Structure 1
Amino acid sequence: MHEQPPPSEAADALAEIRQRHEQVLEQSLTPNWFWWVVGLLVVGFSTAVDTEDGLAIGIGTTVFVLGLCAAVGVVVVRSLHAQPRSELLGTAGALPIAGFVLAVLAVTLPVSLVLGALDTPHAATWGSLVCAVLMIVGGPILMRRVRSTMLDRVTKGSR
């Protein structure tokens, strides 16, 4: 016969399981530094485009593409070691991500277009600065929400 563990041991075991779930989820989420890198790359690329100089645009495009590939590569490799079940994200996690992307575009594109229509110097750069701020501030908030959603699903699934 199996003996029931004492309540304190059971509580410790459950706390350990929750901690390991949190570690897996943390490894699978986009880290805060990523939002900074992408925001800065967007600003750098837009600044290069605003120069209207072919060489600057070529260099800016190359730095943007290589930088973005490197950042995404690091995030992907980092997350390969910890892949939570796909149902943990679900619609409740996917909708905020899609909403975030749409919100950034819904703010950034009109700002850039209006600034361009007003003949504002460096309109693309100013618009990309808005994009960068939204990503740098909003990205970590989004990841906290996604993390919370996934942890809630882990907890509900373990009941």
Structure 2
Amino acid sequence: MSIPPVDAELALAEIQSRRAQVVDTNLVPRWFWFSIAALMVAFVAAVESGVTWVVATGTIVYVLGLSALIIAMVRRGQVQVRPELIGVRGGVSIAAFTLALTAIGIGLGFALDALGVPFPATLGCVPVALGLAFGGPALMSHLRRIMLARPLAGN
């Protein structure tokens, strides 16, 4: 019994559509990146203030905010790293993104500190936060393209 070409095409289209759904549900949403960025800058600014009550309040806000974000992601229940979908290219992309933002933040913070600029860690954190807020969704788009380009049957 042979399958008519049109039925095979429809079945393949359905498989690709389902895969796109799986990929989309495994991406970190845009709101998460902006929220993490805002929490990070607020926490660093609070710590760098050196004022005890500001540090304590900033720490509490950060811990509660981060906990709420993690709970929201867990309740969403679908975001998880799937090595078979992301592949080596995806892993390298994530590592490069992380290393670049870390280098920018640390490098800028130390440079500003050496120049005697007030609040160097907070100012060094701002481009990192912007990188997270805008680069995170861009990274997710890149990872989506990588995952959708992988063969349907695996390697």
TM over 0.5: yes
Pairing partner for 2:21 from 20, 23, 37: 23
Output the TM-score relative to the length of structure 2: 0.88
Identity in percent: 39
Over the aligned positions, Cα root-mean-square deviation in angstroms equals 2.1
Q: Following the alignment from structure 1 to structure 2, what is the Cα–Cα distance between the partners of residues 14 and 142?
A: 27
Q: Following the alignment from structure 1 to structure 2, what is the Cα–Cα distance between the partners of residues 124 and 23?
A: 40
CA separation of 1:84 and 1:51: change in aligned 2, threshold 3 A: closer
Per-residue deviation, 1:143: 1.0
Conservation of the 8 A alpha-carbon contact between 2:84 and 2:154: no
Per-residue deviation, 1:25: 0.9
- Three-state SS of the structure 1 residue aligned to 2:28 is coil
CA separation of 1:83 and 1:36: change in aligned 2, threshold 3 A: closer
User: Residues 81-111 of structure 1, C-alpha deviation per residue, up to 9 Å, x if partnerless?
Assistant: 4768532222221111111111000111111
Unaligned runs of 5+ in 1: none
CA separation of 1:93 and 1:71: change in aligned 2, threshold 3 A: same
Per-residue deviation, 1:116: 1.6
Tell whether 2:87 aligns with 1:87: no
Conservation of the 8 A alpha-carbon contact between 1:35 and 1:135: yes
Q: Following the alignment from structure 2 to structure 1, what is the Cα–Cα distance between the partners of residues 54 and 80?
A: 40
Identify which range, 107-116 or 82-91, moves more after superposition: 82-91
Aligned to 2:139: 142
Per-residue deviation, 1:3: 4.4
Per-residue deviation, 1:158: 6.5
Pairing partner for 1:119 from 116, 121, 129: 116
Task: Give the aligned residue type for 1:67.
Answer: G
Q: Following the alignment from structure 2 to structure 1, what is the Cα–Cα distance between the partners of residues 98 and 35?
A: 16
Q: Following the alignment from structure 1 to structure 2, what is the Cα–Cα distance between the partners of residues 39 and 85?
A: 24
Identify which range, 84-93 or 41-50, moves more after superposition: 84-93
Q: Following the alignment from structure 1 to structure 2, what is the Cα–Cα distance between the partners of residues 106 and 114?
A: 12
Aligned to 2:57: 59
Conservation of the 8 A alpha-carbon contact between 1:32 and 1:139: yes
Aligned length: 155
Q: Following the alignment from structure 2 to structure 1, what is the Cα–Cα distance between the partners of residues 73 and 27?
A: 8
- Three-state SS of the structure 1 residue aligned to 2:88 is helix
User: What pairs up with 1:27-106 in 2 under 5 angstroms?
Assistant: 27-78=25-76, 80-81=77-78, 86-106=83-103
